[in-house]
Amino acid sequence: MKGVLGVLFYLALAQASAPAPTIEVRPRTTNVSIGEKFEVTVELKGPRGATYDFPKEISDGSVELIQSQPPTADGVAVYNAQVFAMGTDGRIPEIEIQYTSPYGGKGSVKSAPVLLNVVSTLDPNEQNPAPADFAPPVPVLVSRAFWIVAGLATLLVLAGLVLLARRLRFPRKLEDPKVTPAITPEEEAMSALDRLVAGRARQDPKTFYIQIVQILKQYLERRLEAPVLEMTSTETLGFVKNHAWTAPHAVALRDLVASADLVKFGGSSDASNAERQIQFVRDIVGRIDRLRRADLELRSREPDRRKTA
């Protein structure tokens, strides 16, 4: 009996004297732009034989970290990080990690926040980064070629009406209807981005930015159920700023729309950030979808909470 008590006393004494682990957070760089991915290494230093429970995802609404590599046995984990807000929110948040000491004791340790220098993707030499004025209207001149094309089009329409009348008079046997599965807004946006990447080499910067903004606004219109395609750039930014699913990305969306307007209306030909802009839209679509699913799940639990109350 005394031997067992001695072992327990020794374990308690060893656990009490063991130093608490410490966390070191090392971002690969502290100068990042909105939506840019960068690597963050999180290392725990503690007694040999301790085990650590690293979180898979870390997010405070402005900065998001997703574990990219499994933690090593010596307490090192690597995360892919992205910043989605500027100003004072540009920091890696506190990271809390649960641990089990070699003697069975459990505890947790937190890291200190790490400040980041969040920079804009707009040209720093641009004095007034605003869309240029629209060009004045150009008069339309009707030539002889127009009337020739109009006549041919009229003939084609008449031929189509004749074929339609014949089909109505002699209808074909109806085939079994085929149901096409609906495509989600996320799938539609990702497919459109894939096509944009495939045709990137044949596009000029103006065409590229017109298409990428069109893809983004089409996604926002379907997912948020609002006439985003009919909105101006200013109206679109005001709308996403006031919506719960898109508000955290309002600054990033403003930078993308401002860059697109500068290329479309200001005559700029810089498209060096094209691949990054495409990846940024992919990330925005994914984050909005995750926020939407989390919001719907929370709403579905509200009736159960009310019954419990």
Closest CA to 254 of 85, 22, 54: 85
Asked whether the beta carbons of 26 and 43 are under 8 A apart, the reply is yes
Q: What are the structure tokens assigned to 79, written together?
A: 């995360």
Q: What are the structure tokens assigned to 203, written together?
A: 């596009």
Q: What are the structure tokens assigned to 76, written together?
A: 């090192």
Q: What are the structure tokens assigned to 85, written together?
A: 């807000």
Kindly give the confidence (pLDDT) of every residue in the chain, 309 residues in length, as a single tens digit, with 9 standing for 90 and above: 555 444 444 445 445 556 778 888 889 888 888 878 889 898 888 777 788 888 888 887 788 888 888 888 788 999 998 887 755 457 888 888 888 877 777 888 888 888 888 877 666 666 665 555 556 666 666 678 888 888 889 989 999 998 888 777 766 666 665 655 688 888 898 888 888 888 776 777 778 888 888 888 888 888 888 898 888 888 888 888 888 888 887 887 887 777 777 777 765 555 567 778 788 888 888 888 888 888 888 888 876 666 565
Taken as a whole, the chain contains a residue count of 309
Spell out the CATH class of 19-119: mainly beta
DSSP H helices, the chain, are: 2-17, 144-169, 185-198, 205-224, 233-241, 250-266, 274-308
CA 203, CA 148: separation in Å to the nearest integer?
32
- Strand 63-69 relative to strand 57-59: parallel, antiparallel, unpaired? antiparallel
Name every residue whose Cβ is closer than 8 Å to that of residue 67 and which is 6 or more positions away in sequence: 54, 55, 56, 57, 77, 78, 79
Q: Three-state DSSP class for 50?
A: coil
- Domain ranges, ordered by start, for the chain: 19-119, 185-295
